[in-house]
Amino acid sequence: MNKFSFLLAALCVSLHAQEAKPADAKAAAPAPEVKLSGGAKAEPKTYFADVWVGKSIGECNVFQKNVQVINIQIEELKRLNIFLENALTTPEKEARGHDIAAKRAKLIGDCESMAKMYGGFNPLQRPGQLVPTKQVYATLISNEEFAKISSAGDFKADSVITMDDKRFQIKDTIVGQADLETFALSINRITEAKTRLQQLVDVQPKLTKDDDKKKIEKAIKEIQDELSKSLEEFKKARGFDFTAEAITLPSEAKLIVQLSEDEWKKANEGKAPAAPAAGEKK
């Protein structure tokens, strides 16, 4: 927990302080260390494979929407199962059971369709991770701004994208793992600072103690300075101002799934041996 989160929590406790009761029980003694004979067990090897490549914003967006549809279906089945458990009559239980069976069959069929489309990726049986290799940063524009932009002689149609009936102008393209990580850290630093600042501003009017007021004023000033610095660095690095209404979209990405050792060996038959990732966590 950073010091600002800690300060916020402390201030909230100060606002809603209640007398704590002393603990009756003594602290439990630490569990004795257990040593296994035969030495440490070898860490299992982990194998990954690229099974699909998204080559455009559209392809990556369709994949992500397909995954969202599957996730919605899974959550709905969880909810229906709760209703089934709480059903009071036999007819109600039978009706809900038939509904669940139909929706489960559809979910399985949709996952099998995705496996055919995306190289074996199956959200139920073989989950994976979409890893961007190229991203675009696009800012929201109004209809008037779009009319002005599109009327320019050097306007390119692919410089503006439409998402959920909103238009965004591509301001930057980020390529390569190093630049993608640096860009993500920069965005996260700004958004997290904005969130912390808003939390403290929301708490500030509720404070009554002078000491608390001084602490939060100091914390707000420090975050404001930190945020200003991050915004300046962003503009210097990218050539334009950060905006909270901007979006970051993968324009190229690879879909990675985990393989068993047998699957990895089969996939690499006849190929030059390559060292797998040992103990790598996704």
pLDDT digits (tens, 9 = 90+) for 17-42: 444 444 444 444 444 443 444 455 55
Residue 24: how many CB atoms within 10 A of its CB? 5
* Encoded tokens for 160: 């503006």
Q: Are residues 117 and 221 in the same domain?
A: no
Q: What is the pLDDT of residue 67?
A: 95
Q: State mean pLDDT over 186-200.
A: 95
Residue 254 has pLDDT above 50, yes or no: yes
Answer whether residue 267 is part of any domain: no
Answer whether residue 221 is part of any domain: yes
Answer whether residue 236 is part of any domain: yes
* Encoded tokens for 135: 């991203």
Answer whether residue 20 is part of any domain: no
CA-nearest of 108, 89, 90 to 100 is: 108
Beta strand 166-175 with 45-54 is unpaired
- Between 148 and 262, residue with greater pLDDT: 148
Q: Are residues 154 and 254 in the same domain?
A: yes
CB 163 within 8 A of CB 247: yes
* Encoded tokens for 106: 């559809």
Residue 110: how many CB atoms within 10 A of its CB? 17
Q: What is the pLDDT of residue 253?
A: 96
* Encoded tokens for 42: 């070898």
CB 161 within 8 A of CB 249: yes
Q: What is the pLDDT of residue 24?
A: 42
CB 54 within 8 A of CB 271: no
Helical H runs in the chain?
3-15, 57-85, 90-117, 143-150, 177-203, 210-238, 261-267
Pick the last residue of a domain from 105, 126, 147. Answer: 126
Domain of 103 in residue numbering reads as 47-126
Q: What is the pLDDT of residue 263?
A: 79
Q: What is the pLDDT of residue 15?
A: 43
Q: State mean pLDDT over 132-145.
A: 94
DSSP secondary structure letter of residue 29: P
Residue type, 215: K
Q: Are residues 158 and 221 in the same domain?
A: yes
| pLDDT range class, residue 11, cuts 50, 70, 90 | very low
Answer whether residue 244 is part of any domain: yes
Residue 220 has pLDDT above 70, yes or no: yes
Taking the C-alpha atoms of residue 183 and residue 188, their distance in angstroms, rounded to an integer, is 9
pLDDT digits (tens, 9 = 90+) for 43-94: 667 889 999 999 999 999 999 999 999 999 999 999 999 999 998 999 999 9
Q: Are residues 64 and 112 in the same domain?
A: yes
Q: What is the pLDDT of residue 19?
A: 41
Answer whether residue 201 is part of any domain: yes
Q: Are residues 143 and 108 in the same domain?
A: no
Kindly report which listed range (23-27, 51-55, 152-156, 187-191) carries the lowest average pLDDT score.
23-27
Taking the C-alpha atoms of residue 99 and residue 115, their distance in angstroms, rounded to an integer, is 24
Residue 139 has pLDDT above 80, yes or no: yes
Q: What is the pLDDT of residue 2?
A: 53
Beta strand 277-278 with 166-175 is unpaired
Q: Are residues 163 and 175 in the same domain?
A: yes
Q: Are residues 146 and 230 in the same domain?
A: yes
Q: What is the pLDDT of residue 33?
A: 43
Kindly report which listed range (19-33, 136-150, 267-281) carries the lowest average pLDDT score.
19-33
Q: What is the pLDDT of residue 40?
A: 54
Taking the C-alpha atoms of residue 175 and residue 221, their distance in angstroms, rounded to an integer, is 35
Q: What is the pLDDT of residue 29?
A: 44
Q: Are residues 146 and 243 in the same domain?
A: yes
Q: Are residues 134 and 93 in the same domain?
A: no
Q: State mean pLDDT over 3-26.
A: 44
Q: Are residues 97 and 203 in the same domain?
A: no
Residue 278 has pLDDT above 70, yes or no: no
Q: What is the pLDDT of residue 25?
A: 40
What percentage of residues in the chain have a pLDDT greater than 70?
A: 80
Q: Give the chain's domain count.
A: 2
User: Whats the size of the chain, residue-wise?
Assistant: 282
CB 146 within 8 A of CB 167: yes
Q: Are residues 135 and 253 in the same domain?
A: yes
CA torsion, points 10, 11, 12, 16, in degrees to nearest 10?
Answer: 100
Answer whether residue 186 is part of any domain: yes
* Encoded tokens for 150: 């599109």
Q: Are residues 83 and 205 in the same domain?
A: no
Answer whether residue 225 is part of any domain: yes
- Between 20 and 196, residue with greater pLDDT: 196
Q: What is the pLDDT of residue 78?
A: 95
Pick the last residue of a domain from 126, 150, 170. Answer: 126
